[in-house]
Chain A
Amino acid sequence: MKTGKLLSLFRNVFAWALSLIMFIPLLLVVINALKTKTEANGMNMSLPSSFQWSNFAVVIEEGKLIQSFFNSLLYASASTILSIILASAAAYVLSRNRTRVNKVLYFYLILGIAMPMNFVTLTKVMQATHLMNTQIGIIILLAASALPFSVFLIYGFVSSVPRELDEAGIVDGCSPLRLFFSIVLPLLLPVIVTVGILNFMGAWSDFIHPLYYLNSSDKWPMTLAVYNFFGRFQVNWNLVSADIVLTTLPVVIIYLLGQKFIISGMTSGSVKG
């Protein structure tokens, strides 16, 4: 009995230690974002003598953060909406009508989960389609790269929506398009929320696509703006920290609000297949 209690104490201490290890680096940034330049020099955990809220104002001004915030918002939301509509339409017909050809098409689509992007030759495609250094180009790239995994998650879910509903719709004279939008799509909502949150956060964190294909700084998303800001203000860790906080805050808020969907979506989706 005594060893049981000790073991349980050990487990709880261990859990707290792990949580701390995961949390301290993030807390470090928040603390230092509120310090003066000299205080933040050491980047340690000591609390600031007085809160320097003005750091955020400086960063927003100097780092052109408002512009990049709206860029990120545009890229993340537009690509998420695009990928959700395209992925659910494709997953729906491929899952419902499993002919030989459709199974091959599904396989071909989800092969993209493993395939790496060839960023070098992609420039040729981007030039040919006149999407180089354009916002719409980044949106399309983000959506296209999110498609394979989105199709995979939605495809599995479509099987759980009863076919009888489709048949009832057809009997009532629904066109295929109406059947999809007014009957099936609302029933896919749980998986769409999960896919939507994952794609949004993925697009918000994305760094490599704009690094390759956006050279004008007024089109940069938050990630690229932060990296550039770091290059210019390396010695001012208080400002860099403030910039990091502002970049990360949106994803952390979405995570805390939707953590049930995110954790269950990312885990059950991958465990059950």
Chain B
Amino acid sequence: MNKKIYPIHFAWITLALYTVFFVLPGLMGFYYSFTDWNSFSTEINFIGFDNFKQLFSADENYLGFINNTLIFTFATVLLKTGLGLAFAIALNEGVRMKGFHRVMLFLPSIVPMLVVGLVFKSILNPATGLLNETLRSVGLGFLAQKWLVDLDWAFKSIIAVDTWKGVGYIMIILLAGLQAISKTYYEAASIDGAGAWNKLRHITIPLLLPALTVTTVLNLLHGLKVFEAVYVLTNGGPGYATDVLYTSIFKEFSMGRFGMGTALSTLLFVFMTIVGYFVVRLMSREGDGDR
């Protein structure tokens, strides 16, 4: 009966499009990463593990790109969750014009990353940028840095810009979670003489755990796929210091070294599909529970 009312062919086009343009390229990657596919010759030869040998060799920069991607992901997850939680707790009660602040804090997450990148390219300009100008004008000139040019600061600046863009979104998810926690818990804890720290540790964090899991997953997936932020702000510079996986894939692609680009993509594909398997299992189970 169900089969007749809910015919599976309703899902065919969806499954087909998704498979052909999403999954298939990922699977094709397993084959092409073992080839010398490039734009200079029409022939594609099987070369075994050569691409991966090069990828993991200490003489090349690829390990650095992987490392950068992981640092970026780890740092943005930590910063957005930590700051988002702190902001959410600070703004949970007693703030007037809540709606207005919510709109403002959410605003950066809807602006295209490309635009954010261009704006911060100007703000972080060492000579004329708004940040250094402001620091100088309030007498904190010694804090001014060559944000996107300095080897020590470039990557940190990118992480900061990405955090600026994403923290409001995370904060609002956590704020929604906080407001679902009943006040009676805190009242009971106060009667028992618990301080602010104990309330945070034993009430807020445990009850916020589902929301924190969601934000961590969102930030994790976002971090591993970072592209525009790096591409626009530094394009991997100075040198290759800030290149991440997706920017290096694009560089390989632009240079016509498709085999190597595919090998890098496939590495990310395997890693994220494994992570995704557990994430998605969690998500689909929760969906079942709702019924």
Interface string of B220-250 (1 = CB under 8 A from A): 0100110110001000000000000010011
B284 close to A207 (CB less than 8 A): no
How far is B173's CA from A7's CA once the two chains are assembled, in angstroms? 24
Shortest B15–chain A CB gap in Å is 7
The one of A110, A141, A251 in contact with B280, judged by C-beta atoms closer than 8 angstroms, is A110
Instruction: Please tell me if the beta carbons of B210 and A271 are within 8 angstroms of each other in the complex.
Output: yes
Q: A residues engaging B (CB < 8 A)?
A: 7-8, 11-12, 14-16, 18-19, 21-26, 28-29, 41-45, 86-87, 89-90, 92-94, 96-97, 99, 102-103, 105-125, 129, 140-141, 143-145, 147-148, 151-152, 155-156, 159, 166, 170, 176, 179-180, 201, 204-205, 207-208, 211-212, 223, 226-227, 230, 237, 240, 244, 247-248, 251-252, 255-256, 259, 262-263, 266-268, 270-273
Is the CB–CB distance between A205 and B112 below 8 Å?
yes
A244: B residues at CB distance < 8 A:
115, 118-119
On whether the beta carbons of B14 and A89 are closer than 8 Å, the reply is: yes
Which of B5, B120, B228, B279 has the largest count of A CB atoms less than 10 A from its CB?
B5
Query: Which one of B25-33, B60-68, B144-152 contacts A?
Result: B25-33
Pairs across A and B, CB under 8 Å, 22 listed: A18-B105, A25-B164, A41-B128, A44-B133, A86-B13, A89-B10, A90-B15, A93-B7, A93-B10, A94-B11, A102-B8, A110-B284, A119-B249, A119-B253, A121-B29, A122-B21, A176-B6, A204-B112, A207-B228, A247-B115, A267-B172, A273-B287
Min CB gap B271→A, angstroms = 9
User: Are A262 and B268 neighbours in the complex by a CB distance under 8 Å?
Assistant: no
Q: Is B29 in contact with A118, judged by CB distance below 8 angstroms?
A: yes
Give which listed residue, A93, A252, A273, contacts B11 with CB less than 8 A.
A93
Is B3 part of the binding interface, using a Cβ–Cβ cutoff of 8 Å? yes
List of B residues within 8 angstroms of A86 by Cβ: 13-14, 17
* Chain B, Cβ-Cβ closest to A222: B112
With A45-B130, A180-B10, A271-B176 in contact, is A113–B112 under 8 Å at CB? no
Q: Please classify the interface of chain B as helix (H, G, I), strand (E, B), loop, or mixed, using the class held by over half of its residues.
A: helix
Within the complex, which residue of B29, B91, B173 is in contact with A271, where a contact is CB–CB below 8 Å? B173
Which residues from 123 to 150 on chain B have a C-beta closer than 8 Å to any C-beta of chain A? Answer: 123, 125, 128-130, 133
Flag the segment in B73-81, B94-102, B186-194, B197-205 that touches A.
Answer: B94-102
Is B221 a contact partner of A114 (Cβ separation < 8 A)? yes
A147 — nearest CB in chain B belongs to which residue? B18
State the B residues within 8 Å of A (CB). 2-8, 10-11, 13-15, 17-18, 20-26, 28-29, 32, 87, 90-91, 93-97, 100-108, 110-116, 118-120, 122-123, 125, 128-130, 133, 164, 168-169, 172-173, 176-177, 210-211, 214, 218, 221, 224-225, 227-228, 232, 246, 249-250, 252-253, 258, 261-262, 265-266, 268-269, 272-273, 275-277, 279-281, 283-284, 286-287, 290-291
